[in-house]
Amino acid sequence: MFIINFIYFVYNFVFFSFGVYTSATLGHYLLQKDTYLCGTARTNRKGYPAVHLPSGKAANRLQRGTIDWRACGDFVATMWKDNKPLFYLSTAHSPEEDGLTTKRRKKDGSQEILPNAPCVKDYGKYMGGVDRLDQNTRQNKGKKPMRWYRRVEVKLREIAIYNAYVIEGTFINHMPGGKRKRDMLAFKLGLLHQLIGGYRQDRRLGRSRSVIVGTGTLGWERSLASAVR
């Protein structure tokens, strides 16, 4: 908490957070320190006005770009419909702003302009990179999970690879429209080829297979190489 006090409470910043951390309790605590809160929110959190905002099937039926909000004191709870309904909680933004829009791409490749909310715009501006990092470094959870230190190792390695991918984008010219010449998967494959290089394992290591020769209770083992002549 000392680091948070030094960074945010001294310089009077806006604290952007994920839905797992955003709550009315955190908002009240930060306001006491003259610090604002903005983040995605979970509708089942205590203090969030979920009953006054569209949710569930009713929200899914709304048109893309629909905005609904509720305000109470310094808090503004916002629902914005993109491909799915998104919920936000903020103490740093007004509910609406005239002329605020965002661009989205349709399935046919064309673009459409949708109305946007102030908290949604700022959250995407300052947290978009963090969301993309989590999406590109997400670990697949198998039936038999790895030990915790192995998961930490894999996560740190994926973050290092993603950082290298971002740095590469600052040096290589992009295609028209700002599209990267290769995606994350192609970057990983290229990295693997560079690390492996021309190394090739010609001889298979390990013990030779054994076969059991004989019938009944008596029998013996001989290596496959000596049994087949």
pLDDT tens column, 12-64: 688 888 888 899 999 999 888 888 999 999 888 888 888 888 877 888 888 88
45 in any annotated domain? yes
DSSP 52: G
**Residue 104, beta-bridge partner list:** 112
Contact 134, 159 (CB under 8 A): no
How many angstroms separate the CA atoms of 19 and 87, rounded? 9
- Amino acid 4: pLDDT: 44
97 in any annotated domain? yes
Average the pLDDT over 100-110 and give the result.
Answer: 81
**Residue 68, beta-bridge partner list:** 79
pLDDT for 90 beyond 90 = yes
214 in any annotated domain? no
C-alpha separations of 137 from 124, 144, 185 in Å: 19, 19, 11
How much is the pTM? 0.62
Domains of the chain: total: 1
161 in any annotated domain? no
- Amino acid 213: pLDDT: 47
Average the pLDDT over 172-195 and give the result.
Answer: 80
How many angstroms separate the CA atoms of 94 and 78, rounded? 10
pLDDT for 198 beyond 60 = yes
13 in any annotated domain? yes
Residue 189, classed as helix, strand or coil, is helix
40 in any annotated domain? yes
228 in any annotated domain? no
Give tens-digit pLDDT for 122-158: 888 888 766 677 777 776 665 566 787 888 888 888 8
Instruction: Give the domain range for residue 48.
Output: 2-126
Strand ranges, E, within 47-156: 67-72, 75-81, 85-90, 101-105, 111-115
Phi, psi of 130 (to 5 degrees): -70, -40
pLDDT for 174 beyond 50 = yes
Which residue would you say has higher pLDDT here, 183 or 220? 183
Which of 182, 186, 177 has its CA nearest to residue 109?
177
108 in any annotated domain? yes
Residue 161, classed as helix, strand or coil, is helix
pLDDT for 112 beyond 50 = yes
87: its two tokens? 């919920």
